[in-house]
Structure 1
Amino acid sequence: MKKSLKKEIEELRNEIHYHNHRYHVLNHPEIPDYKFDELLYKLKHLENLFPHLITNNSPTKSVGGITLLNIKKINHIIPMLSLNNVFNEKDLFLKFLNPIKNLLNKTKNYFCCELKFDGIATSLLYNNGQLIQASTRGNGIIGENITNNILYINDIPHKLQGNNFPSILEVRGEIFMKKVNLNILNQNNIFNKQFANTRSAVLSFLRLKNINNNINYNLLNFFSYGIGFIQSKKKISSHIKILKQLKNYGLPISKHTTICTSLKEISFFYEKIKRERNNFLYNIDGIVIKIDNIKIQKILGCTSHAPKWAIAYKFPPQEKITILKNIIFQIGRTGVITPVGKFKTIKIDGVNISNASLYNINEIKKLNLKIGDVIVVQRCGDVIPKIINIIKKERKNNITTNIIFPKICPDCKSILKIKNYNKKTLYCPSDLNCKSQLKGYLKHFISRNAMNINYIGNQLINKLVDINLVKNPIDLFNLNINTLNKIPHLGNKSILKILNAIEISKKTTFTRFLYSLGISEVGLVTANNLNKHFQNLSNFLNADLKDFYSISGIGKKIAYNLYKFINDKKKLYIINKLVNEIGINWNNNIIISNFFYKKKIVLTGKLISINRLKVIEKLINLGAMIYNHISKNIDIIIVGKNPGSKIFKAKKLNIIIINEQQLLELINKN
């Protein structure tokens, strides 16, 4: 029995070492964090039960990964330790609060509660206020030298503010990346690879050897959360005071930090942050609880890998493991074929999930995905779930099967083609003759920001197309009582509402009409820019390719899409019928005396009291031009809650800044 137990522990250690290496060194984890935590917890439990089986090379005795051999190393003055984890209130009490209760005040204690950032732990060393060195945690004793790389991160000051700082100060914190910046990184394909999460993207930045102007380090951010070594005559009594002092030195700290005095207050803070986590600009995976009193911290001390005076209270996982059952191929309104993975149902954040988009065929090839694979599914907030990895060690060749890519459209049976400019994209060339594309197009056409036809929902569109009552948007406007009576379970009152809504929708705006046409990659903002540039439909339809190039915000790809669209005889036929026979019309008359007329505007942050799209629509109707990026040509920036870096650029360029309340007041005046 002892032999089998020893073997089980050894196999568990080997498995943890393997995943540790993939996570910290290769930057390519194979399993979700919570699965790794489960393995480590199981090993700790067994080692506690059988301490004579503990070895010096056990993962429970180390902090993290090993530094790469080809990267310069830095010895930490004081070890950079990891944190022990708990996942529920009961364990928080039993494993953290209860063991230290004898050292705590019986009446009132203070705990500093902070966010647990999903980034790279970093040490910054300042000598007489000047930054001289930076390193990662590494294995806790030796870290990777990242000094050259972090010099380009705006959040990290090269010199501390003021003159009352210690002669030597080691600041500890987290380098992280905002969610939106991960999207920018992946869209621009800067590293010639796609990143599944912000942490792996940050690590790739920090491990770059050759730094050049093409790499934008402004995509990275930093929060300080404490200090390591300090050489100072002043005694520090409180952790929260340390954070405030770091802020005074010019180092950024998170505003989501609070002092709690009981388990009840800690749990309240935890639940509050858990509810709000998806609204944050960056990823977090829990909170960190630290005893605020520095004297008690020193008395409690540390183990070889974690302090006894702090603990991480982690959120339930937003990643789950399941089994891929099938891949189906769907057709969108543009004809692009999108693979969708069907898997055994899992629950993440209380939501049952059984499928996830795989975007294109290259995603399947990149993951080396097979039917029957054990897969890792991620869901952050309310976004569409994503298959981020497979666990190859679980693959059983006698069970898994290769995925066969389609050669004909699953709907209309047309032979699929590959886009010339993007060989990873399959598409159906049949356009509106393919019912799946027609359904997607019509759903876009009637949507709120397009023709805004009420009382016609997705289900009705499906029925109208399936029984061949509607073959294009012209047929939609030619619906009458007789044709709608052919739809089962559709009463006379509903029919009258639908017909009335169709009639009302004929009076629209040029921007809405352009957007409703469903031109590839032309959103509401681009449609408005086209409106401003061409003023009327005739100018738009007679434009040349160079005319589209000259419009701000339109690149070569969108310009080509527009030019191709206006030279498509079928599209021109539909436009002519809609305007000249159906009677769709618009009035571009705008009161030019309003504040927003011809102003170039950028929005940043979350608007609370009004929907963002409604704001954009109102501004467009007032003659404004909406842009996504800050430049010296922008007139106004509208700022909501948690604005991004755009506001700092706007201040440097002296651009007019308007908050949400001021925006509403100005809109209501017009």
Structure 2
Amino acid sequence: MADRSAETALPAPPKGDDPAQRAAWLRIVVEHHRRRYYEQDDPEIGDEQYDALFQELERLEAEHPELDLPDSPTKRVGGATLDKLVKVRHEQPMLSLANAHQPDEMQAWVDRMRSHLAREGIEDPAFRFVTEPKVDGLAMSLRYEDGLLVRAATRGDGEVGEDVTHNVRTIPSVPLAVDGAPAVLEVRGEIYMALHDFERLNERRAQAGLSTFMNPRNSAAGTIRQLDPKLAKTRPLSFWAYGVGVVADAPAEEAAAAGAGADASRGTSIGVAHALGVDGHHATLGWLRERGFPVNEDVRVLDDIEAVVARCGEWEQRRDRLSFEIDGVVIKVDDYELQRRLGSVGRDPRWAIAWKFPPRTAVTTLRDVVWSVGKFGDLHPYAVLEPVIVSGVTVSQATLHNEEDLERKDVRPGDRVIVLRAGDVIPQVISPAPHEAERDDRAAPPRPPATCPACGTPTEKPEDSVFTRCPNRGGCPGQQYQLLKHYVSRGAMDIDGLGEKQVHQLLEKGLVRNAADLYDLAVEQLVELEGYAEISASRVVDAIAASKQQPFGRVLFAIGLEEVGQVTGRNLAARFRTIDALRAATPEELAATPGVGEKMAEIIAGRLADPPVVELVDRLRAAGVQMEQEGAPPGEGLLDGLTVVLTGTLPTLTREQATERLTAAGARVTSSVSKKTSAVVAGESAGSKLEKAERLGVPVLDEPGLERLLADGPAVLVPDEQPPEDGDEDAPEEG
């Protein structure tokens, strides 16, 4: 098998019509582009090109069964639906972890290990600790034989799990083959769903009229236990590797036939060390990373427990900024010999512990269910709660998502309910508290109102929607408020001085009806309102005027087109360049934009033709708002061909502003660092991306360096040649 971890040029397509040569080439190319997309976040080709290559390989393998290899990328599609999941007994138990919540509990853990090792004859051991995030997902065992994935099993009760190979094969970040592996290799890790993938999945399910999932962990667990792999493939699962279980030079049945001594180290830390050529856990993670397994980049090796406790505190502070859910930090003794000596007590290894974060749930009383109107007329239920503290914040309101989710959860006024708060996300009601559903005196289930709570218009429920809607587009004050609040928000037009309170005030006084009216406001009108003086009113009017310079892509996001977020807005602006070209585009042309599917294209086209939107866009253009894409067309920009990663907080530019300026100059902005990254722009608290860039030799710029790059182009990334210093061995000799 080829080394899949190497950064090598792709081979040229084979000449002639030999299907075996063509299939072999396609397997290399498809796997290469899969890794570029899923592992490096740095794709080289578009989705349509990738799909065409993949489908050609599928066709060849179907026409020539002898070419259908077990590690082919097409095996990720999944096979037939299963009747049931088969039980699997783990050759080496998947143990649980003891917990700690306080520094003194961590010190007690270390003291227990020292005491145990002293009885083993090891005095004053020099511990090295490995810290890694405790991802809130589903523990998984991946078994490879002769380098090929043969089985994936859930943890189950630690002794017996379930065979879910058919679904795990569909996860792009799970390698189907491993180069340089022993005859038997068990990789352990966590199947999870990233937060942005979870949100998009719930949005798609809501649009399709399906119930939404409660949280990412439940989504991952429910998906991985599906009987139909084609369903699992439609759900965006990911994988982190966190260790190795069984390793051996021969499968279990061969080892048994040869005698116990032939495989005595099977499933032990000594066996891992011998088989992989490593001496500890951290080196094992490096071995896995080199062979294509996703391993968290923020794993650290620390020498004392005080540093470990501080690191756990850092993870807790970062918890809300991560792209995946964690509920703690796992700490392991690095040295395999010490692990072996420490062993286990009951079902817990002595050499590992989990620092658990405070819970993010609480129980309180649901006072009422009320309904708010969204930007597009959809009615959203939310809970009015008896105030309760969750994760240090007092919560009195929480989302209930949509009416079908509300019906599924079956929460009613008067119930005791469980409330979850995760990071900066709006708190949500998860379910009734235990035994609430058994009460005889519960209130009737809440139902959406027959008339809009904002304008009184009779509501309607479209067949393909999970939302009851107010059809009064353009005239409903609830929709006007939500659209205008969105337009002025930081991620959209970023009009400083206009928040929820001010938007409500402007609408209530009749000074504005939609976003275009903002550009007619005068200082004299604002000073008549409560909270405004002449200086503050002038600042708001100036901020409104400044918003006319916001890029076209941001304008498309701000005006409130269904299905158009920040990224889609930028992509549409880059592809069509002007509002007139965008309006004239057919749904088929819209669907050719990256990130826009056929159904989304139909919705966008319909919204652009909606009379209130037509009027709004025309008035905004007349007011001087940007309706054309600035910068050079694709392929003609100063930074065309460059790939840039942004990390940390810049002194004066937001992430969105920096992205817009780079993309306007022709650069691609991605989220992960690889050898192909042209530059990393690093601000304060840059973290692991900066460290990886330095390790790979990728040029690193601060904000002034970014400004030079935008002004002078790629030459900024070429280091200046320094004259040799006195005494330099490479300096030319005199004379």
The TM-score with structure 1 as length reference comes to: 0.73
| SS of equivalent residue, structure 2 residue 349 | coil
Q: Does 1:614 align with 2:657?
A: yes
Q: Does 1:186 align with 2:227?
A: no
Residue in 1 that maps onto 2:445: 402
Summarize the alignment of residues 315-394 of structure 1 with structure 2, pairs less than 5 Å apart.
315-394=357-436
Give the distance between the partners of 1:556 and 1:251, measured in 2 at CA: 34
Structure 1: state its 5+ residue gaps.
1-67, 630-634, 648-656
Match of 1:175 among 185, 188, 191: 191
Give the distance between the partners of 2:143 and 2:549, measured in 1 at CA: 65
Give the distance between the partners of 1:432 and 1:595, measured in 2 at CA: 40
Q: Does 1:491 align with 2:533?
A: yes
Give the distance between the partners of 2:578 and 2:463, measured in 1 at CA: 32
Summarize the alignment of residues 196-595 of structure 1 with structure 2, pairs less than 5 Å apart.
196-212=214-230, 215=233, 219-228=237-246, 231=263, 236=273, 238-244=280-286, 246=288, 251-395=293-437, 396-422=439-465, 424-447=466-489, 453-505=495-547, 510-511=552-553, 513-531=555-573, 535-538=577-580, 548=590, 553-580=595-622, 582=623, 590=631
Deviation at 1:239, TM superposition (A): 4.2
| Alpha-carbon distance change, 107 to 371 in structure 1, aligned in 2, over 3 angstroms | same
8 Å CA contact 2:643–2:667 kept in 1: the answer is no
Q: Does 1:115 align with 2:157?
A: no
Residue in 2 that maps onto 1:80: 94
| Alpha-carbon distance change, 72 to 271 in structure 1, aligned in 2, over 3 angstroms | same
8 Å CA contact 1:443–1:458 kept in 2: the answer is yes
Deviation at 1:289, TM superposition (A): 2.9
Give the distance between the partners of 1:341 and 1:137, measured in 2 at CA: 36
Deviation at 1:601, TM superposition (A): 9.3
| SS of equivalent residue, structure 1 residue 486 | coil
Deviation at 1:564, TM superposition (A): 3.8
Structure 2: state its 5+ residue gaps.
1-81, 249-262, 274-278, 693-697, 714-735
Give the distance between the partners of 2:313 and 2:462, measured in 1 at CA: 47
Give the distance between the partners of 2:578 and 2:364, measured in 1 at CA: 53
Residue in 1 that maps onto 2:721: none
One-letter code of the match for 1:278? D
Residue in 2 that maps onto 1:195: 213
CA offset digits 1:2-54 (Å, max 9, x no partner): xxxxxxxxxxxxxxxxxxxxxxxxxxxxxxxxxxxxxxxxxxxxxxxxxxxxx
Residue in 1 that maps onto 2:162: 144
Summarize the alignment of residues 2-41 of structure 1 with structure 2, pairs less than 5 Å apart.
none
CA offset digits 1:628-656 (Å, max 9, x no partner): 99xxxxx9998788999xx9xxxxxxxxx
Residue in 1 that maps onto 2:105: 91
8 Å CA contact 2:410–2:431 kept in 1: the answer is no
Residue in 2 that maps onto 1:669: 712
8 Å CA contact 2:96–2:348 kept in 1: the answer is yes
Give the distance between the partners of 1:169 and 1:540, measured in 2 at CA: 53
Give the distance between the partners of 1:157 and 1:507, measured in 2 at CA: 46
CA offset digits 1:49-78 (Å, max 9, x no partner): xxxxxxxxxxxxxxxxxxx99432222333
8 Å CA contact 2:139–2:155 kept in 1: the answer is yes
8 Å CA contact 1:479–1:499 kept in 2: the answer is yes
Give the distance between the partners of 1:643 and 1:87, measured in 2 at CA: 26
Give the distance between the partners of 1:428 and 1:459, measured in 2 at CA: 23
| SS of equivalent residue, structure 1 residue 596 | coil
Give the distance between the partners of 2:626 and 2:151, measured in 1 at CA: 65
Give the distance between the partners of 1:601 and 1:362, measured in 2 at CA: 46
Deviation at 1:364, TM superposition (A): 0.3
Match of 2:637 among 573, 587, 596: 596
8 Å CA contact 2:507–2:513 kept in 1: the answer is yes
| Alpha-carbon distance change, 101 to 669 in structure 1, aligned in 2, over 3 angstroms | same
8 Å CA contact 1:109–1:262 kept in 2: the answer is yes
Deviation at 1:223, TM superposition (A): 0.5
One-letter code of the match for 2:192? F
Identity %: 26
Give the distance between the partners of 1:628 and 1:83, measured in 2 at CA: 33
CA offset digits 1:269-313 (Å, max 9, x no partner): 221222223344332221223344545544544344323333222
Give the distance between the partners of 1:527 and 1:621, measured in 2 at CA: 13
CA offset digits 1:239-285 (Å, max 9, x no partner): 44554555566655444434444432321222122222334433222
One-letter code of the match for 1:596? G
Residue in 2 that maps onto 1:17: none
| Alpha-carbon distance change, 636 to 515 in structure 1, aligned in 2, over 3 angstroms | farther
CA offset digits 1:165-198 (Å, max 9, x no partner): 4x54544333333333333443444996533233
Give the distance between the partners of 1:533 and 1:151, measured in 2 at CA: 35
8 Å CA contact 2:186–2:246 kept in 1: the answer is yes
| SS of equivalent residue, structure 2 residue 452 | coil
Give the distance between the partners of 1:361 and 1:204, measured in 2 at CA: 22
| Alpha-carbon distance change, 538 to 174 in structure 1, aligned in 2, over 3 angstroms | closer
Give the distance between the partners of 1:445 and 1:336, measured in 2 at CA: 18
| Alpha-carbon distance change, 443 to 625 in structure 1, aligned in 2, over 3 angstroms | farther
Give the distance between the partners of 1:390 and 1:577, measured in 2 at CA: 48
Give the distance between the partners of 2:414 and 2:129, measured in 1 at CA: 47
Deviation at 1:365, TM superposition (A): 0.9
One-letter code of the match for 1:74? V
Give the distance between the partners of 1:171 and 1:546, measured in 2 at CA: 44
Give the distance between the partners of 1:558 and 1:112, measured in 2 at CA: 45
8 Å CA contact 1:529–1:551 kept in 2: the answer is yes
The TM-score with structure 2 as length reference comes to: 0.67
One-letter code of the match for 1:142? V
One-letter code of the match for 2:480? L
